[in-house]
Structure 1
Amino acid sequence: MTRIVLTDAMKASGTRAVFAALEARGGKGCVRFVGGCVRNVLLGVPGSDLDLSTQLTPDETEAALSAAGMRHVPTGKDYGTITAVVDGEPYEITSLREDVETDGRRAVVSYTTVWAKDAQRRDFYVNALYADIEGLVYDPTGHGLADIAERRVRFIGEAQMRIREDYLRILRFFRFTAGYALSVDPDSLQACIALQAGIDGLSGERLFGETMKTLSLANPLLAFEAMQSGGILSRIVPGWILVGEGLPELRAMITHSDDAERRLMALVDSGLGLGVNEIKSAQARLKFSQAIGERMIAAGDVVTRLEAAEAGDIARLIYRHGRQAVEDAVLLAAVHGDGQPHELLRLMADIDVPKFPLKGSDLIARGMTAGPEVGQRLKQIEAEWLAADFAQSVIDAALVG
């Protein structure tokens, strides 16, 4: 019998109130913690969102919460989920389900009171663990606790069947492997490789969400190298090609930065380069925001300018492109050149880049006629000011002239 020490969130008064409300209708043990919150406590890693499973149907869940005077919202009632809100905290409560049919993206489900049936429809054994309000852990598949102990991530039952239920589980497999496993489960990997064509039917938004979650992990390299070796990566990043062994640019960026967007730049750069056309191709597939696309384009542009840059040029690059773009470019240049960028980044932190101190009104106040010439003259002065390393003497001379 395995017990966990409940986290503060799991033993909060609001949590106990939700359990009490549901058990008042369904009886003791009709509701349990499930999935990530149980898994993470067992693994000794930071907590996950609280998810609850119940033997009650969604209608019964709503009735139980209403009887307890508890606010609730039918956030996903069609899929069995009701959200209770206690003291401003949301609690997602999902009825036990079993799949009737699926098309690889959506499943038709029926409700059940059997915990084992609910467990069998989940993705990985480590995610099919339940715990009651006292911390007693239930392992309906009989493999979840063993996989936790072995730091192993595997599909439940027949791997290809689990994948066909939702092809996004291929990417989830790699994310959970990178987050929790010591190595890649070979049987699960082979199933992912065999059914990788199913990724093509997934929306770019879903692919981007999973990709960024994986890139946000402490060390996502295990996942991406496995995707690369299995030929899966090109279905996520269009046009990605095999370049040598491993992913050297991504590996290096992981050591330099925990910024997921920078890691995405390195991932795209590994196979495509970071030109405008390549970025737009990746954006068309992954549907990432215009802001991320513009950040990538700015970084790629600055990288080419860094190659011949001297000390004074860094300040000018920051002025023209912004500090973030230059920092991104410094890191991207480093991952290609085996460099150590942190000294340059420290120097950059001490560079105080001034704002251009003149406005058109300043020139007009000194006798210049309003019109297009004012803007042209401002650009000329600005160029001279930059070339002179922001010298005030340039501004003074322009005002006198």
Structure 2
Amino acid sequence: MHIALPPEMTAPAVQQVFAALEAAGGAGCVRFVGGCVRDVVMGRTPGDLDLSTQLTPDATEVALSAAGIRHVPTGKAFGTITAVIEGQPFEITSLREDVETDGRRAVVSYTTDWSRDAQRRDFYLNALYADIRGEVFDPTGQGLDDVQAGRVRLIGDAETRLREDYLRILRFFRFSASHGRGLDEASLNACVALREGIDSLSGERIQQELFKLLSISDPVNVVQRMIETGVMAHVVPGAPVNAERVVAGFHLTSDAIQRLIILIGGHGRAEVLNALIQRLRLPNRVADRLSAAAAAYAEADVRASLPALRRWLYRYGRQALSDALVLRVAETRLSPEAWKTLDQNLKQIDVPVFPLKSARLISVGLAPGPELGQTLRRIEADWIAHDFSPIVIEDAIDAIAKQANIRGQ
């Protein structure tokens, strides 16, 4: 099969890399591999341009050096050298076959056989190669058929593929959501049977796959099956996941963090949330957002009045309140239209700013000290209770000034 390569796959930098490697290993010793080939065949825009070569990592480095191309041994132990041209990276991986695996990493040996390299990959539709001229190679004989059918299948014996790397369980669901038309039964059954293997994966690897899944435009059916089959319980252990909440909530937002909030729910105890944050090794910005949403969730109500929304905005901030309310909407099964109206109302409300400073109170006669802080907090609470009315503050200042005058007389 021949395909018309898009401009990004025939750019001068790409041609430089191909020319450098072919000068050392001969024509055809390097090919595009995996996702970029798959996506072009499917009529999609390719992502990262990954390359495979018959050259060993050492030979790859020599070839790049001879052509004056900067390179970094980013994953040399696993066969990967990254060429960098004008800031653009190209991962170049030598053809490999697995010698030994433990479910997390593999010991590999190098080969010049494209078929052997293809057999160690995860899915048939990812085991496609293409040369710089657009000729597509399908060593398994099933990759192109699966691309055309929108079928995501593990190569060969499904359980064997998963035992080589349990992350493939999560990748199966992600690719089924992004590139599949349904879930392949044999692959699904293997994922369910070996779902406990997810527990052996690092939090970082799980987190990355989970956010990629949640960022897909419509992952609802796949996430629902993950919950129903018990797979999701190993992805977000301890969280009160609920398929109905996912179905109702995921269509409300495309924000991956809000979808995570909908997925894990708001009824879990603080220690459950903290354990999940640690298990997934979530970045501080994500962990803080989840914690803030959990605090706002305790008060948030989708039927709230404008004064209540203003009060919560002041207390929790716009992002935390939005995150908490989208979860509440998912739980109460409100329509997307109702959420859109609520969200628009939220965006139109200005977050109040407490205008009173201690200097103002000192200027009207209140002495610095513990009483000053207590008075500020009392006035602030009264200001919030009266829907942020400036009159409350002015009345309080007048009362303090009068009291100071009385004391001074």
Q: TM-score, normalised by structure 1?
A: 0.94
Paired position in structure 1 for 2:261: 265
Paired position in structure 2 for 1:336: 331
Paired position in structure 1 for 2:227: 228
Give the fraction of aligned pairs with identical amino acids, expressed as a percent. Answer: 51
Paired position in structure 1 for 2:237: 238
Question: Unpaired segments of 5 or more residues in structure 2?
Answer: 401-409
- Evaluate the alpha carbon distance shift between residue 324 and residue 241 of structure 1 in structure 2; reply closer, same or farther with a 3 A threshold: closer
Instruction: Please say which of residues 304-313 and 314-323 is displaced more in the overlay.
Output: 304-313
Paired position in structure 1 for 2:377: 379
Matched, 1:296 2:294: no
Matched, 1:77 2:71: no
SS in 2 for 1:341: helix
1:321 deviation in Å? 0.3
- Evaluate the alpha carbon distance shift between residue 374 and residue 254 of structure 1 in structure 2; reply closer, same or farther with a 3 A threshold: same
Using the alignment, how far apart are the partners of 2:91 and 2:283 within structure 1?
A: 28
Matched, 1:182 2:181: yes
Native 8 Å contact 2:103 2:165 kept in 1: yes
Native 8 Å contact 2:51 2:91 kept in 1: yes
Using the alignment, how far apart are the partners of 2:152 and 2:220 within structure 1?
A: 16
Using the alignment, how far apart are the partners of 1:129 and 1:222 within structure 2?
A: 27
* Counterpart code for 1:316: R
Using the alignment, how far apart are the partners of 1:223 and 1:338 within structure 2?
A: 20
Paired position in structure 2 for 1:106: 105
* Counterpart code for 2:261: M
Paired position in structure 2 for 1:256: 252
Native 8 Å contact 2:240 2:264 kept in 1: no
* Counterpart code for 2:141: G
1:71 deviation in Å? 0.9
Deviations 1:279-302 (A, max 9, x none): 223224323234433322332332
Paired position in structure 2 for 1:356: 354
Task: Give the superposed CA RMSD.
Answer: 1.7
Using the alignment, how far apart are the partners of 1:241 and 1:283 within structure 2?
A: 14
After TM superposition, the structure 1 = structure 2 runs for residues 19-168 of structure 1, keeping only pairs within 5 Å, are 19-168=18-167
1:242 deviation in Å? 7.8
1:233 deviation in Å? 1.8
- Evaluate the alpha carbon distance shift between residue 240 and residue 356 of structure 1 in structure 2; reply closer, same or farther with a 3 A threshold: closer
Instruction: Please say which of residues 142-151 and 387-396 is displaced more in the overlay.
Output: 387-396
Using the alignment, how far apart are the partners of 1:378 and 1:227 within structure 2?
A: 51
Deviations 1:338-384 (A, max 9, x none): 21211111111111223111222222233322222221111111112
Native 8 Å contact 2:239 2:272 kept in 1: no
- Evaluate the alpha carbon distance shift between residue 361 and residue 344 of structure 1 in structure 2; reply closer, same or farther with a 3 A threshold: same
Matched, 1:346 2:344: yes
Native 8 Å contact 2:124 2:142 kept in 1: yes
Using the alignment, how far apart are the partners of 2:367 and 2:97 within structure 1?
A: 77
Using the alignment, how far apart are the partners of 1:277 and 1:341 within structure 2?
A: 30
Instruction: Please say which of residues 34-43 and 225-234 is displaced more in the overlay.
Output: 225-234
Native 8 Å contact 2:52 2:95 kept in 1: yes
Using the alignment, how far apart are the partners of 1:61 and 1:365 within structure 2?
A: 75
1:8 deviation in Å? 2.3
Paired position in structure 1 for 2:316: 321
1:274 deviation in Å? 4.1
1:316 deviation in Å? 1.1
Native 8 Å contact 2:241 2:263 kept in 1: no
Native 8 Å contact 2:241 2:264 kept in 1: no
Native 8 Å contact 2:366 2:372 kept in 1: yes
Native 8 Å contact 1:279 1:293 kept in 2: no
Using the alignment, how far apart are the partners of 1:389 and 1:273 within structure 2?
A: 29
Instruction: Please say which of residues 256-265 and 231-240 is displaced more in the overlay.
Output: 231-240
Deviations 1:215-248 (A, max 9, x none): 11111123222222322221122235686xxx11
- 2:366 is aligned, of 351, 365, 368, to 368
Using the alignment, how far apart are the partners of 1:224 and 1:196 within structure 2?
A: 14
Native 8 Å contact 1:96 1:118 kept in 2: yes
Number of residue pairs aligned between Structure 1 and Structure 2: 395
After TM superposition, the structure 1 = structure 2 runs for residues 209-228 of structure 1, keeping only pairs within 5 Å, are 209-228=208-227
SS in 1 for 2:218: coil
Look at both structures and tell me which one has the larger radius of gyration over its CA atoms.
2
Matched, 1:287 2:286: no
Native 8 Å contact 1:275 1:300 kept in 2: no
Using the alignment, how far apart are the partners of 1:241 and 1:372 within structure 2?
A: 44
1:75 deviation in Å? 0.9
Deviations 1:159-213 (A, max 9, x none): 1111111111111111111111101001111111222221121122221221111
- 2:396 is aligned, of 381, 395, 398, to 398
1:103 deviation in Å? 1.0
Native 8 Å contact 1:184 1:226 kept in 2: no
Native 8 Å contact 2:167 2:205 kept in 1: yes
Using the alignment, how far apart are the partners of 1:126 and 1:384 within structure 2?
A: 63
